[in-house]
């Protein structure tokens, strides 16, 4: 996924530079008609520049008489150019390409003490692409800035909520755990997260909060509900009418490779032995990837703790117990509270 994104970004910069250059040519054409001397000056600057370059290449130094007089000439022409622009009410950089980013001239890279480093605009682009590719549409609204623990009752009621502490205390603990997950994301020892709990208690919301923090750190995230995930796998493996197999290559690879995979609503997909075998492969592959580079998974499910073992095979469950920290979400259905 990363290679792909970097190529896309590179193309985007090339387009930007071409656009700036084309625009400059347009402007030159127009202004040369009005102020023909500018065209002459630009030609002279260009010619002097070439001559100077040749001298340096032939072994002359910049302080040699011939070379330094060329530099002086260029200086003179440039000053005359600026004066002409000023006299005609143009800004002095009117004949420079207008790049979107003045720091890197839309190359994406800046010279940082002799080392070529990614410009801040490159990072921003990367994040935008990551957002687009993450498949998370809610991340703009559902994040830690809009997190509100007041939706969770602050009275404990074990019978009702199935947990000893109040749902509010519970969600605040979960939040802490999730913040740790984000902070330790790169550590191979950090466990995956398994969210369980009834509908409407904020599992998808929390996954979205984590996704946004990681996306903002430049980490690729892929969000898929379980049915979509299994469809992606099927389409890749067996192809679908008119599109034999290839289309979802990237999506398929990402399921195994992306730094954070969120599988939401596990258990609502139709059950089949093949699907559990797929899930097993995903979990095992990601677990072994994670030993050498961040490859974490969040699973969310509505299925209650007692049904879990019945629903999934023993083998899947042993992976979930082994690779994941289970966080139990509890409380009222927030959607219903919001409607009231």
Ligand X SMILES: Nc1ncnc2c1ncn2[C@@H]1O[C@H](COP(=O)(O)OP(=O)(O)O)[C@@H](O)[C@H]1O
- Contact positions vs Zn ion (CB under 5 A): 101, 103-104, 119, 121
- Asked if 331 interacts with ligand X (CB under 6 A), we say no
Q: How far, in Å, CA of 127 to CA of 140, rounded?
A: 13
Q: How far, in Å, CA of 100 to CA of 124, rounded?
A: 13
Binding pattern to ligand X, positions 171-210, x when CB under 6 A?
Answer: ----------------------------xxxxxxx-----
72 forms beta bridges with: none
Q: How far, in Å, CA of 53 to CA of 70, rounded?
A: 10
**Helices marked H in 136-225 — which ranges?**
158-161, 167-183, 203-216
Q: Using CB under 5 A, count the residues that bind Mg ion.
A: 1
Least distance (Å) from Mg ion to the CB of residue 300?
Answer: 6
Question: Which residues touch 269 (CB under 8 Å, ≥6 apart)?
Answer: 226, 227, 229, 230, 275
Least distance (Å) from ligand X to the CB of residue 276?
Answer: 22
Q: How far, in Å, CA of 2 to CA of 57, rounded?
A: 40
Q: Using CB under 6 A, count the residues that bind ligand X.
A: 15
- Asked if 225 interacts with Mg ion (CB under 5 A), we say no
Please check whether residue 290 is in contact with residue 296, taking contact to mean a CB–CB distance below 8 angstroms: yes
Least distance (Å) from ligand X to the CB of residue 126?
Answer: 27
Of the two residues 67 and 201, which places its CB atom closer to ligand X in the complex? 201
Vertex 29 angle, CA 72 and 102, to 5°: 65
- Select from 105, 94, 102 the least CA-distant residue to 27: 94
Least distance (Å) from Zn ion to the CB of residue 103?
Answer: 5
- Asked if 302 interacts with Mg ion (CB under 5 A), we say no
SS3 144: coil
- Asked if 212 interacts with ligand X (CB under 6 A), we say no
Q: Which of residues 202-221 bind Mg ion (CB under 5 A)?
A: 204
Determine the residue with CB nearest ligand X.
Answer: 202
- Residue 222 has φ and ψ, to the nearest 5°, of -125, 125
- Asked if 148 interacts with ligand X (CB under 6 A), we say yes
SS3 297: strand
Strands 260-264 and 221-225: parallel
Pick one of 13, 151, 194, 312: the residue that binds ligand X (CB under 6 A): 151
- Asked if 147 interacts with ligand X (CB under 6 A), we say yes
Please check whether residue 178 is in contact with residue 210, taking contact to mean a CB–CB distance below 8 angstroms: yes
Residue 101 binds which entry of ligand X, Zn ion, Mg ion, none, with Cβ cut-offs from 5 to 8 Å by kind?
Zn ion
Least distance (Å) from ligand X to the CB of residue 203?
Answer: 3
Least distance (Å) from Mg ion to the CB of residue 137?
Answer: 13
Of the two residues 204 and 297, which places its CB atom closer to Mg ion in the complex? 204
Under the rule (CB under 5 A), what is the footprint of Mg ion? 204
Give me the residues that bind ligand X (CB under 6 A), please: 142, 146-148, 151, 199-205, 329, 334-335
């Amino acid at each position: 996924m990363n290679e792909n994104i970097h190529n896309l970004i590179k193309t985007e910069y090339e387009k930007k530079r071409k656009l700036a250059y084309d625009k400059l040519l347009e402007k030159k054409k127009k202004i040369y008609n009005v102020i023909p001397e500018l065209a002459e000056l630009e030609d002279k600057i260009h010619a002097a520049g070439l001559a100077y370059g040749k001298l340096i290449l032939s072994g002359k130094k910049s302080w040699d008489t011939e070379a330094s007089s060329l530099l002086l000439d260029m200086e003179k022409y440039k000053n005359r150019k600026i004066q002409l622009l000023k006299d005609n009410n143009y800004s002095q950089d009117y004949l420079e390409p207008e790049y979107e980013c003045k720091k890197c001239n839309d190359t994406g890279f800046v010279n940082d003490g002799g080392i070529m480093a990614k410009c801040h605009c490159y990072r921003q682009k990367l994040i935008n692409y990551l957002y687009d590719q993450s498949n998370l549409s809610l991340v703009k609204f559902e994040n830690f800035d809009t997190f509100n623990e007041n939706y969770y009752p602050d009275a404990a009621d074990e019978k009702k909520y199935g947990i000893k502490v109040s749902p509010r205390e519970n969600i605040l603990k979960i939040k802490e755990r999730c913040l740790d997950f984000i902070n330790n994301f790169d550590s191979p020892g950090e466990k995956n997260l398994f969210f369980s709990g009834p509908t409407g208690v904020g599992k998808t919301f929390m996954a979205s909060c984590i996704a946004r923090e990681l996306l903002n750190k430049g980490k690729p995230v892929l969000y898929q509900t379980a049915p979509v995930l299994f469809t992606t796998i099927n389409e890749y493996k067996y192809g679908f009418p008119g599109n034999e197999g290839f289309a979802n290559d990237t999506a398929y690879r990402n399921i195994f490779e992306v730094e954070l995979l969120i599988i939401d609503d596990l258990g609502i997909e139709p059950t089949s032995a093949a699907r559990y075998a797929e899930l097993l492969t995903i979990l095992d592959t990601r677990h072994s990837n994670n030993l050498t580079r961040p490859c974490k998974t969040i699973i969310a499910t509505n299925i209650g703790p007692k049904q879990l073992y019945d629903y999934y095979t023993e083998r899947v469950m042993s992976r979930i117990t082994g690779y994941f920290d289970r966080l139990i979400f509890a409380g009222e259905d927030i959607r219903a509270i919001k409607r009231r």
